[in-house]
Amino acid sequence: MKIQLAAILALLALQPFATAQEQPAKAEAKAEAKAETKAKPKIQLFKPAGAYADLPEMAFSPTSLLTGGGAPPKAFYPLVEAIDAMAKDAEAKTCLLDLTGSAYFNLAQVREVERALQRLRGAGKKVIAYLEGADSVTYQIAAQADRVLLAEMGAVDLRSPALTTMHMKDALDLLGIQVEVTRVGEFKGAVEPYLLPQMSEHLREHYRRMLASINDDVVRRIATGRRLDGAKVRELQARRLFTGKEALAAGLVDALVPWEGAQRALQRELGNDDFELVDAVPKKKGKRGDLLAMLSEMFKSKKDAELEDTPQLVVLHLAGTIVDGDKASPGSMVSGPSTKLIDQLAANDHVKGVVVRINSPGGSATASEAIRKALERLAAKKSVVISMGELAASGGYWITCIGRPIFAEVGTITGSIGVFSMRFQPGALFRRLGVHPELVALDDGAMMDAPDQPWTEAARAHLQAFVDDIYDRFVQNVAASRKIGVEDVRKIAGGRVWSGSQGVELRLVDRVGGLQEALAELRKQAAQKDDVEVVHLPAPRNFAESVLENLFEGSAFANERLGLAALLERCGGADVVALLLQQALAADGSGKVWALLPAMPRVR
């Protein structure tokens, strides 16, 4: 017993010694393993997914309310910043651009992504793009990579830009609803869908020329990226659809790979799997979009980004249909909140300059003028540069008339210098239904609001004079701002819409360029260095916040509009149709004059 105990004690005494001997060996092995892991080359993974907006906001959607579907758009400029951050990463020499996330960008955003990828490649990075199928927009981005890999069963849809409008004249005739319009300019496409069963030839030809101008930039982008002749790209666009083998033969892609995902495609491209794939944009937990989540959001407040006590440059996003009002609404540029924010920026001594980023089809002429005057006050105190996004037309162009530099992309739709007034007159429908409105009035002026009677010639002439007066103001604003003769403005006005490059030729725009170019111009004007912080305002709002804000302030009208917009969402141009119908059915008898390019024509 004593012998056994002594042996055990001896073993215990030796154990720490043995462990001490083993520890250095284990530590050395771990260090070697760690060093081996570190030695693996780092490759950045960049995978855009979903829709992106300059100012992402979530409006009302009855289906997503219950199902949690229909994710709101994501912020676009953080995505551009992520690409620029990749360029500054000294460890990674290769970037994998995974384009399987069904990302959607408008053409103005595609140009911004193109510039960012050029900066990335200019920093010495090799960019490899992976596709499992690509539409025109996705392919334009892929074409900026050094190598393009396509899953062998994938396809490329190289559709050229096209424009669609929805004409409702025959449907309105069947319903017995007459549309009465006063307008200036035969090219004011906002009213044609209600007046004609199909597009007029002169407007069709005008749209064709605009699309050709926009497509020139699409062709340039693909031809430059893939080292193809521009005429060859046009031939490919006309053919449009390509299988994997056809895309390879046409020079649209560099290699076909099995349908095994981006990472395995990269392994095949490199010939090994000895690399560390790092997500360039770390995943964030997304917000739920179901009913309970929205109810929870209603009781949370979110303030706009606050300006710090240091010199700053501000990107002021003015987006959506322009409307009169005092309460902010997702998807709209409301005159009251917009002018208030602009005046706050003008009064803030720490704001050294402002880029006004516009994405708008226009809207109310009075709201447009209120916002324009506020921007004029801002420009009197600060350096201001205008940057146009996807759309800055009609009222969206009106607000740019402050005599400051204007940047636009080739794919920007701008101009539409024209004005109209319109109402729906359902007299025939009422008669079919056996409804007989009776209006008791003291004079003929009140008869202009009669729902079942057309305008008299005198009333129409009076309204036309009213519209003409606003149009003259619009033309004079443009002439003064752009230093163009009034008659020269009239020749390019009348409701005509132009691409950004056409706008430069016609002197409606100063330069083709994106937000970065506008910021560079602003820094030069404001004498600010590159390291001055850039702040984007206002903070995006969602539908829940709007409901909370208006809950006890007569929000029935606002909710009625949002519901109508949701109902018309699948018809295209929901905001425009909703606003026009809502105004036509307004019970107060008020009239509106619009400087509006319809949201219905969409370039795809």
Cα 211 to Cα 206, 221, 455: the distances in Å are 9, 15, 37
CA–CA separation, 484 and 358 (whole Å): 22
Residue 276 lies in a domain: no
Residue 469 inside a domain? The answer is yes
Per DSSP (E only), the strands in 132-230 are: 147-151, 155-157, 163-164, 178-184
**Whole-angstrom distance, CA of residue 28 vs CA of residue 40:** 19
Indicate whether 290 belongs to any domain. no
DSSP conformation class of 134:
B
Helix (H) or strand (E) holding 581: helix 574-584
- Tell me the torsion sign for CA atoms 584, 587, 591, 592: negative
Specify the residue for token string 């409701």: 495
Annotate 316-357 with DSSP letters as a single string.
EEEESEEE--SS--TTEEEHHHHHHHHHHHHH-TTEEEEEEE
3-state SS assignment for residue 90: coil
DSSP class per residue in 484-553: --HHHHHHH-TT-EEEHHHHHHTTS-SEE--HHHHHHHHHHHHT--TTSEEEEESPP-BHHHHHHHHTTT
Q: How far apart are CA 6 and CA 282, in angstroms?
A: 60
Residue 29, in any domain of the structure: no
Among 105, 571, 535, 578, smallest CA distance to 332 is for 578
Among 39, 33, 66, 71, which Cα is nearest to 52's?
71
Cβ–Cβ < 8 Å for 261, 151: no
What CATH number is associated with residue 450?
A: 3.90.226.10
Alpha helices in 258-408 (DSSP H): 262-270, 291-297, 335-347, 365-379, 395-398
Q: CA-CA distance, 498 to 481, in Å (whole number)?
A: 18
Query: Which of left, alpha, beta for 339 (phi over 0: left; psi -120 to 50: alpha)?
Result: alpha
Q: Total structural domains in the chain?
A: 1
Burial (CB count <10 Å: 0-12, 13-18, 19+), residue 599: buried
Is residue 180 a part of any domain in this protein? no
Provide the CA 15 distance to its chain's centre, in angstroms.
69
For 157, other C-beta atoms within 10 Å of its C-beta total: 14
Name the phi and psi angles at 40, rounded to 5: -65, 135
Q: Is residue 259 part of a domain?
A: no
Side-chain-side CA neighbours of 11 within 13 Å: the count stands at 6
Helix, strand, or coil (residue 443): coil
Q: Which candidate, 378, 335, 325, places its Cα nearest to that of 356?
A: 378
Residues 6+ apart with CB under 8 A from 346: 377, 378, 380, 381, 382
- Dihedrals phi, psi of 351, to nearest 5 degrees: -85, 115
Q: Output the six-digit token pair for 187.
A: 């090219």
Burial classification of residue 133, based on how many CB atoms lie within 10 Å of its CB (0-12 exposed, 13-18 middle, 19 or more buried)? middle
Position 487 in a domain: yes
Distances (CA, A) of 591 to 190, 540, 573: 17, 31, 21
Pairing of strands 413-415, 497-499: antiparallel
Is there a domain that residue 490 lies in? yes
| Phi-psi map region of 55: left, alpha, beta (phi>0 left; psi -120 to 50 alpha) | beta
Residues whose CB falls within 8 Å of the CB of residue 415, separated by 6 or more in sequence, listed in order? 393, 397, 492, 493, 496, 497, 498, 502, 503, 506, 508
pTM comes to 0.76
Residue 64 has which token pair? 């997503």
CA nearest 390: which of 599, 80, 209?
A: 599
Q: How far apart are CA 256 and CA 150, in angstroms?
A: 5
Neighbours of 445 (CB within 10 A): 11
Domain that holds residue 373: 310-603
How, if at all, do strands 155-157 and 241-243 pair?
A: antiparallel
534 has which bridge partners? 313
Residue 538: cis peptide before it, omega within 30 degrees of 0 = yes
Question: Which residues in the chain show pLDDT less than 70?
Answer: 1-39, 58-71, 185-189, 282-308, 441, 443, 445-446, 540-592, 594-604
